[in-house]
Amino acid sequence: MERRKAIALGFFDGVHLGHQALLRRTVERAEERGMDAAVFTFDRSPREFVTGKAVPLLTGAGERRDVIRGLFPIEEVITAPFDETMMTMPWVDFVLMLAREYRAGWLVAGHDFRFGHQNAGTPALLSKKAAALGMGCDIIPAVTLDGVTVSSTHIRALLERGEPEEAARFLGRPFALTGPVRHGKGLGGSRLGAPTVNLVPAAGRLIPAFGVYAARVTVGETVYGAVTNVGVRPTVDEDGGVTVESHLLDQSVEVYGKGCRVEFLKMLRPERKFAGIDALRKQIARDADEARAYFKAVSEASYPGAGEKSCPN
């Protein structure tokens, strides 16, 4: 017979330190009770679906799954569609679904977890109903860092202000964007003398504050130190579209068409318009020197270059 499951409940955008506390408890309960550890999440932001207002995501559904599996021994990540049926489901039916369809034997949720039609389900009701159905339930209190509650909302605000180092403290790792490498307009190599890797972020992903960053770029299993520009390139581009372009430090490689991951480590300066190409070219050289100094200061041994292996997260 299939074993029962200890199931973590939530949207888990970012899989930050608060989420990790919840997932850690889920694994502990599974091991204690001879159950399988699992996660129940949604394919889209419930808040966005309900309010109709866009919520830029820290992680897409696939990345959330990969991060969870990379951090914890959890194989089953159930990604349910958040649609009209899910939104209008009575909270009692939601708990019954977990027990009957997914064989839940233990539930783990955060202190602010709300569920069911009109968010009528609360942590207290979840615990009470779980007990009535013969299931255990843990409600994880807020996780704080320097007196601030760890939340996806706070992390988004940090990134939108251009503070990736602070955001990384709350995430437990650097914020990253992933996607395929596309061909740009050739401005980097032909006019600026700095070939770039152009990343195509997935729709709906949060884009950090416009500016220039020291970054770590992973292509395949190779990691490179980089200077990454996020913005609209006001000096050379009149189209106005947002771009994420990384200049790999001291490297010249062919990466077009491959998957790419850009980790934002430190903001070097805000994006601004220069008087011309020559001024921009000189600034790019200064940005590269500043990024090299950053990597050297962080650790002599960890300077990202060709041949390093990427981390799973």
Domain at 300, CATH number: 2.40.30.30
Contact criterion met (CB below 8 Å) for 245 and 202: no
Q: Per-residue b/e over 54-84, b at no fewer than 16 CB within 10 Å?
A: ebebbbbbebbbbbbbebbebeebeeeebee
- 46 found inside a domain: yes
pLDDT over 60 (residue 309): no
Label each residue of the chain as H, E or C. Answer: CCCCEEEEECCCCCCCHHHHHHHHHHHHHHHHHCCEEEEEEECCCHHHHHHCCCCCECCCHHHHHHHHHHHCCCCEEEEECCCHHHHCCCHHHHHHHHHHCCCEEEEEEECCCCECHHHCECHHHHHHHHHHCCCEEEEECCCEECCEECCHHHHHHHHHCCCHHHHHHHHCCCEEEEEEEECCCCHHHHCCCCCCEEECCCCCECCCCCEEEEEEEEECCEEEEEEEEEECCCCCCCCCCCEEEEEECCCCCCCCCCEEEEEEEEEEEECCCCCCHHHHHHHHHHHHHHHHHHHHHHCHHHCCCCCEECCCC
Q: Determine the distance from the C-alpha atom of residue 165 to the mean position of all C-alpha atoms in its chain, rounded to a whole number.
A: 14
* pLDDT at res. 187: 47
Over the stretch 241-262, which tens digit does the pLDDT of each residue have? 788 999 888 766 666 667 889 9
* pLDDT at res. 180: 85
Structural domain total, the chain: 2
- 185 found inside a domain: yes
Q: Are 56 and 181 contained in the same domain?
A: no
Does 1 or 180 have the greater pLDDT score?
180
- 248 found inside a domain: yes
Q: What is the mean pLDDT of residues 301-309?
A: 39
Tell me what the pLDDT averaged over the chain comes to: 88
Domain at 100, CATH number: 3.40.50.620
Q: What is the pTM of this model?
A: 0.88
Over the stretch 183-192, which tens digit does the pLDDT of each residue have? 655 444 444 4
pLDDT over 90 (residue 169): yes
Percent of the chain at pLDDT > 90 equals: 68
pLDDT over 50 (residue 204): yes
Over the stretch 22-32, which tens digit does the pLDDT of each residue have? 999 999 999 99
Q: Are 231 and 111 contained in the same domain?
A: no
Residues in the chain: 313
* pLDDT at res. 22: 98
* pLDDT at res. 237: 61
* pLDDT at res. 239: 61
Residue with tokens 């002599």: 300
pLDDT over 70 (residue 197): yes
pLDDT over 90 (residue 305): no
